[in-house]
Amino acid sequence: MVAGIGFGVVVLLLAVFFAAALRILREYERGVVFQLGRFWKVKGPGLVILIPGIQQLVRVDLRVVVMDIASQDVITRDNVSVKVSAVLYFRVVDPARAIIQVEHFLVATSQLAQTTLRAVLGKHDLDDLLSERERLNLDVQKILDAQTDTWGIKVTNVEIKHVDLNDTMVRAIARQAEAERERRAKVIHAEGELQASHKLAEAAEVLARQPQALQLRYLETLTVIAADKNSTIVFPLPLDMLGPLVRRFTGAPEP
For residues 155 and 144, the answer to whether their CB atoms sit within 8 Å is yes
Whether the predicted pLDDT of 183 surpasses 70: yes
Of 82, 28, 80, 32, which is closest to residue 56 (Cα–Cα)? 32
pTM of the model: 0.65
Does residue 130 sit in helix, strand or coil? helix
Whether the predicted pLDDT of 235 surpasses 60: no
Mean pLDDT of all residues in 171-190: 75
- Amino acid 210: pLDDT: 65
- The total of structural domains in the chain comes to 3
Are 71 and 161 within one domain? yes
- Amino acid 20: pLDDT: 74
Has residue 153 been placed in a domain? yes
- Amino acid 18: pLDDT: 72
At residue 238 the predicted structure's pLDDT band, cuts being 50, 70 and 90, is low
Number of Cβ atoms within 10 Å of the Cβ of 51: 13
Are 181 and 131 within one domain? no
Are 47 and 75 within one domain? no
pLDDT (tens digit, 9 = 90+) per residue, 87-112? 999 999 999 999 999 999 999 999 99
Are 189 and 208 within one domain? yes
Has residue 234 been placed in a domain? no
At residue 205 the predicted structure's pLDDT band, cuts being 50, 70 and 90, is confident
Has residue 181 been placed in a domain? yes
Are 75 and 160 within one domain? yes
Q: Domain range for residue 25? A: 11-61
Are 97 and 75 within one domain? yes
Has residue 89 been placed in a domain? yes
Whether the predicted pLDDT of 211 surpasses 80: no
Are 90 and 31 within one domain? no
Has residue 246 been placed in a domain? no
* Consecutive H or E run containing 119: helix 105-121
For the sheet containing 65-75, what is the strand order? 65-75, 81-92, 153-164
Has residue 77 been placed in a domain? yes
Has residue 248 been placed in a domain? no
Length of the chain: 255
Are 160 and 171 within one domain? no
pLDDT (tens digit, 9 = 90+) per residue, 11-32? 676 666 677 788 889 999 999 9
